[in-house]
């Protein structure tokens, strides 16, 4: 029996909300709050039409404003807040949770909307020099809440989507059940889906394009090695999807795994991209459309990447058009009982199956299901621990069981092909 406040009602949120409704034992009441309240009302209507017993209300909130979030928390009195808005809002929502002493859960780590803001920029440039990677996002802002969350007796569960989220749980599960020591982790994110558009992104275009147009990096022997964007390319034959080109990217779970499993010698992250996506992205970048710096256009200030977002298809609308499968998982090499071994833990998810079940494509589905699972584990006390943690810092077993139960079954292959 619990009461959840969900902030955001986009592609990922819509899956998380429907999955919470399916998990009747844990989620009994929910407030869906977002900037555009009509989306929350439509979701409430859909669930009520399907006869779910969960009691739903909706609200308007500006999650950039901690005081507005705190106002809503005081009004609704939830047991936890699930943030499935954008990474820009993470700190404001964490501040509100701290003020109201309520548990906090999200799926992506903080990055600022305005990367030219001078105070943030100075700290960023210092961090680039000290740590050796240049991504706009990193965990330092949220890890800084550790002591404050401990003192308040509340849990902050960070990054419970698929990657980050499930990939970190896969690593913790491998350590618990398959290895005495892990040496190498390769995280492979393959989207074999086709939506029929020449160019579209599968989740929020602004966040997605910022991530994939940035420098790549990997963790090796206790430090970051940075690469140019898309500099390292490999091919891999993915189970149930087939042969794909994949590229090394910086990704946030590498930072947490590198810190929490210091034994790991190398952690890399690869994502598949088709040639059409890469050609469009390069062209948009060359003409300045991926810029986050505002420009003046006919007397009005616009941010190019936000304007581009308005032109691109809404990721939540890709569901009916997308066919094919995703395959996301980890190839892990280490030592057990003195012998070297490798396993590949992965999930395969079918875009059309997701659409049939919830009206969403597989990228939203593979993120929204783990968002519900992490929230349920915090609410039931299985993953409740005052402080701020990533998903690799808890017992992986209940999470792995719930992945099977709620639509993301996984496979362990004990003789996979390695990535060179």
Q: Structure tokens of 184?
A: 């190498």
Task: Decide whether 216 or 334 has the Cβ nearer to ligand NDP.
Answer: 216
Cβ proximity to ligand NDP, 204 vs 333, nearer residue:
204
Q: Which residue, 217 or 391, has its beta carbon nearer to ligand NDP?
A: 391
Closest to 384 measured CA to CA, from 2, 13, 68, 54:
2
d(CA 210, CA 179): 35
Largest CA distance in the chain: 68
In terms of CB distance, is 153 or 320 closer to ligand NDP? Answer: 320
Q: Which two tokens stand for residue 83?
A: 């943030």
Nearer to ligand NDP, 28 or 260 (CB): 260
Which residues form the interface with ligand NDP (CB under 6 A)?
8-13, 34-36, 39, 61-64, 84-87, 89, 107-108, 159, 161-165, 203-204, 207, 315-316, 367
Output 164 or 304, the one with its CB closest to ligand NDP: 164
**CB 65 to ligand NDP: min, Å:** 8
Q: Smaller CB distance to ligand NDP: residue 12 or 333?
A: 12
Number of H helices, E strands in the chain: 15, 18
* CA dihedral angle for residue 403, residue 188, residue 364, residue 216, rounded to 10 degrees: 140
Closest contact distance (angstroms) between CB of 363 and ligand NDP is: 6
CA distance 161 to 273: 20
Pick 178 or 273: Cβ nearer ligand NDP? 273
CB 387 within 8 A of CB 317: no
Min CB(347)–ligand NDP separation in Å:
12
CB of 185 to ligand NDP, least distance (A): 16
By beta-carbon distance, which residue lies closest to ligand NDP?
Answer: 10
Residues forming a β-bridge with 105 = 82, 157
**Cα–Cα distance for residue pair 1/3, rounded to 1 Å:** 7
User: Least Å distance between CB 7 and ligand NDP?
Assistant: 6
- Supply the minimum distance, in Å, between the C-beta of residue 15 and ligand NDP: 9
**Token code pair at residue 211:** 């991530």
Distance of closest approach, residue 357 Cβ to ligand NDP, in angstroms: 17
Give the three-class secondary structure for 6: strand
Least distance to ligand NDP, CB of residue 239, Å: 20
Dist CA 217 CA 222 (whole Å)? 13
Tallying the residues shown for the chain, one arrives at 420
The secondary structure of 68-122 as a DSSP string is HHHHHHHHH--SEEEE-S-GGGHHHHHHHHHHHT-EEEESS----S-TT-HHHHH
| Identity of the residue, 5 or 179, whose beta carbon is nearer to ligand NDP in the bound complex | 5
Any bridge partners for residue 156, and if so which? 104, 388
Q: How far is the CB of 338 from ligand NDP (least distance, A)?
A: 36
382 three-class SS: coil
Neighbouring CB atoms inside 10 A of 399's CB total: 25
Compute the distance between CA of residue 416 and CA of residue 37 in angstroms, rounded to an integer.
47
Using DSSP's 3-state secondary structure scheme, residue 14 falls into helix
Q: Which is nearer to ligand NDP, 178 or 199 (CB)?
A: 199
Angle ∠(286,292,295) on CA atoms, nearest 5: 85
CA–CA distance, 126 with 35 (Å, rounded to integer) = 34
Nearer to ligand NDP, 169 or 342 (CB): 169
């Amino acid at each position: 029996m619990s009461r959840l406040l969900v902030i955001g009602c986009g592609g990922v949120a819509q899956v998380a909300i429907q999955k919470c409704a399916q998990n009747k034992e844990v989620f009994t009441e929910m407030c869906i709050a977002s900037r555009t309240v009509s989306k929350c009302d439509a979701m409430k209507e859909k669930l009520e039409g399907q006869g779910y017993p969960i009691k739903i209300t909706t609200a308007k909130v500006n999650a950039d404003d901690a005081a507005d979030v705190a106002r809503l928390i005081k009004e609704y009195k939830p047991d936890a807040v699930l943030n499935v808005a954008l990474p820009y809002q993470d700190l404001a929502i964490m501040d509100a949770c701290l003020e109201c002493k309520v548990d906090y859960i999200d799926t992506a780590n903080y990055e600022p909307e305005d990367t030219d803001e001078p105070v943030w920029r100075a700290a960023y440039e210092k961090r680039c020099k000290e740590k050796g990677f240049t991504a706009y996002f990193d965990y330092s802002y949220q890890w800084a809440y550790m002591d404050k969350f401990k003192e308040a007796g509340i849990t902050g569960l960070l990054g419970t989507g698929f990657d980050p989220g499930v990939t970190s749980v896969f690593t913790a599960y491998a350590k618990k059940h398959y290895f005495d020591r892990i040496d190498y982790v390769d995280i492979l994110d393959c989207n074999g889906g086709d939506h029929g558009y020449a160019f579209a992104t599968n989740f929020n275009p602004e966040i997605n394009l910022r991530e994939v147009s940035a420098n790549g990096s990997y963790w090796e022997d206790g430090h970051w090695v940075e690469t140019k964007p898309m500099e390292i390319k490999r091919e891999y034959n993915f189970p149930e999807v087939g042969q794909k080109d994949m590229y090394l990217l910086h990704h946030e779970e590498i930072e947490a795994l590198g810190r929490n499993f210091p034994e790991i010698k190398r952690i890399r992250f690869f994502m598949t991209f088709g040639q059409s996506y890469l050609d469009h992205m390069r062209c948009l970048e060359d003409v300045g459309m991926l810029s986050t710096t505002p420009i003046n256009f006919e007397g009005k200030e616009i941010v190019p990447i936000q304007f581009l977002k308005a032109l691109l298809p809404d990721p939540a609308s890709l569901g009916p058009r997308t066919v094919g499968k995703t395959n996301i998982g980890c190839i892990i090499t280490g030592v057990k009982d003195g012998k070297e071994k490798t396993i590949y833990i992965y999930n395969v998810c079918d875009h059309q199956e997701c659409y049939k079940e919830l009206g969403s494509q597989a990228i939203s589905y593979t993120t929204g299901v783990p968002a519900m699972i992490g929230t349920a584990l915090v609410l039931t006390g299985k993953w409740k621990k005052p402080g701020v943690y990533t998903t690799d810092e808890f017992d992986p077993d209940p999470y792995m069981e719930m992945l099977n139960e709620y639509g993301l079954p996984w496979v362990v292959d004990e003789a996979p092909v390695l990535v060179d």
